[in-house]
Every structure is written in structure tokens, then in C-alpha cells.
Amino acid sequence: MFREPSEHILSMRTTDRPLIFVTNDDGVQAAGIAALMRLASEFGDVVVVAPNESYSGMSHSITMQRPLFVSCVSSEPGLDVYSCTGTPVDCVKIGFDEILPDRAPDLVLSGINHGSNANVSVIYSGTMGAATEAAMYGIPSIGFSLTDHSPAADFTAAVHYARGIIEHVLTLPAEQRTGLCLNVNIPDIPLSEIKGIKVCRQTLGCWREEFVHRTDPQNRDYYWMSGRFYNAEPQAEDSDEWALRHGYVAIVPVQTDLTDYRRIDPLRKLFNPLS
């Protein structure tokens, strides 16, 4: 069953439509990915590989301790949907290296996430983990998030802006597309109230946790994580949090070199005696 749709994909090579890969971290059943795969189908042939359940907060994690199972949920001309028992990054890797070994997608879309991935949340986000993984393969990627955690969130405005952003990214020259990764957050307000798009930088700050501490029926202490974001720069008009709070769609370009270049020279002086 698993191999057949792969053969179907190969047959797509004869078409001129872009191949668009879709994933998320809320799971293949989420309303957000349903909206995104419908939107993606307007632009090209679509292959979806998404987690079989919620992998929210899974960041860039990969599954090394257990095997992955993949099943074909549905297959129709131009739209194949797979479910995978792994993380969002696993879905990208198994999608690129196993399901589509002979054709790289033209674009990867991740989301639409139920909840914001602005500020440092980008680091914890499985949605953005998948998008950055795709960019590491050189494939342009866009992660979309709506600042509403509700499973029944209204994706109308998110889809409207996502459509425009996808159109623009698909028209970019190849050298600008390669490795492009966008973190797009859409405010949870009616479409008519959104003021437009702002290209931003990631807001600095951190999450602090307030664990809910309870005792289970076996008298063991347990802790549920529950936190809030502390914005270190609430006045920064070029930050994604500011844009969202002021009614804009926030786009942050993302990269994967974590080197803190400003610290290299001072550290070279510090460690010179050990060298």
C-alpha cells in the first residue's frame, strides 16, 4: 500500500504543476492542515506527510529510538495524504528521502498551526521544525500559524494571506528561493481588520513555566507544563510580536546557523591559554 502512491507521484513528473509538500505538528486530522492542503492544491500537485497525532512543541526533534510507520490516508489525482508515527521533522525526512526519492518538492508548507509561533516560540515549534528542516534540504518552506489555539479556529484570514504569500514565493527566482524559510504568523482577528504584512525579526524574550502540580490516583506527584512568554522588547516595532499585536501578519525569515558570532573574538581571547 505504501509504495503504490509513491509510483503515483513518479507519474506526476510528466506534469508541469509545482509539487507542494505539506506537513504540520497538530496532526493529519487537524483543521489547520485541511485548510492548507486545500490551498496548496490551487497551486500544484500536493503530497501531505503529517504526524498521526499532535506533535506540538516537538521543535526539531527526530525519532531515533523507535521505528516509524507510514500509512496512506487517501490518494486522488494531485493529492496524496500520508500519516506518519513520527515528529514533523521525521515527516519531512521520510517524505523527501523515502516517499519522494526521485523528485524534490518545489515548496514545503507547514501548518496552519493552531496557535502562535512568533517570538522564541519558533524554537519550540514542530511546525517550524519541519519548515526549517525542509530549508536545510534547500527547499523553500513556509510555516503558517494562526494565533488561536482552538481546534475550531477560523482560518479564513490565514488562508487569504497564505495564498498571497505562496504566490509571491513561487515567483521568486531560484537563487532567492533556495533555502528560504518563512515563519508566518497571522493574528486572530477578522480579515477586514488585518492591516497588511510586516517582514520582521524574531522578538527576544523567554518563556517562564508555571507547572500545574497535582497528585495522581497512585499518590505520585505530577506536573503539567503551563507557561507564558515574557517579551524582552515590547516596544520594538520591527519585532513579530509588535506586528501581531498591532494587527499585522508577521513574516520572519529563518535560518539555521546558531553561531553567536559576536562572542567568537572574546572567547578566542579567553581560551587562548588552553589552545
CB of 267 to a second copy, least distance (A): 5
Interacting positions 134-153 with a second copy (CB under 8 A): 136-137
For the chain, the farthest-separated pair of C-alpha atoms sits apart, in whole angstroms, at 65
Closest CA to 183 of 234, 244, 95: 244
Determine contact, residues 128/143, Cβ cutoff 8 Å: yes
Interacting positions 8-47 with a second copy (CB under 8 A): none
Stretch of residues binding a second copy (CB under 8 A), selected from 73-81, 104-112, 185-193, 215-223? 215-223
Residue with Cβ nearer a second copy (45 or 100)? 100
CB of 243 to a second copy, least distance (A): 11
Residue with Cβ nearer a second copy (150 or 256)? 256
Residues with Cβ within 8 Å of 60's Cβ and at least 6 positions away in sequence, in order, are 89, 129, 132, 133
Angstrom CA distances, 15 to 10, 19, 46, 178, 257, stand at: 10, 9, 12, 22, 36
Q: Is 229 in the site for a second copy (CB under 8 A)?
A: no
Interacting positions 187-206 with a second copy (CB under 8 A): 196-199, 201-202, 204, 206
Characterize the bridge pairing of strands 221-224 and 45-51: unpaired
195-198 contacts: CB < 8 A, separation 24 or more? 195/246, 195/247, 195/248, 196/248, 196/249, 197/161, 197/165, 197/248, 197/249, 197/250, 197/251, 198/240, 198/243, 198/248, 198/249, 198/250, 198/251
CB of 15 to a second copy, least distance (A): 26
Element spanning 223, H or E? strand 221-224
Interacting positions 94-133 with a second copy (CB under 8 A): 94, 97-98, 120, 122-124, 126, 129, 132
Stretch of residues binding a second copy (CB under 8 A), selected from 8-16, 31-39, 74-82, 213-221? 213-221
One character per residue 240-259, x = contact with a second copy (rule: CB under 8 A): -----------xxxxxxxxx
Residue with Cβ nearer a second copy (12 or 72)? 72
Residue with Cβ nearer a second copy (192 or 213)? 213
User: How would you label 118-140 residue by residue, b for 16+ Cβ within 10 Å and e otherwise?
Assistant: bbbbbeebbbbbbbbbbbbeebb
CB of 79 to a second copy, least distance (A): 22
Residue 201: Cβ within 10 Å count: 13
CB of 136 to a second copy, least distance (A): 4
CB of 12 to a second copy, least distance (A): 22
Stretch of residues binding a second copy (CB under 8 A), selected from 9-17, 37-45, 88-96, 151-159? 88-96
Residue with Cβ nearer a second copy (42 or 97)? 97
Interacting positions 168-187 with a second copy (CB under 8 A): 168, 172, 176, 180-183
Quote the distance between the C-alpha of residue 143 and its chain's center: 4
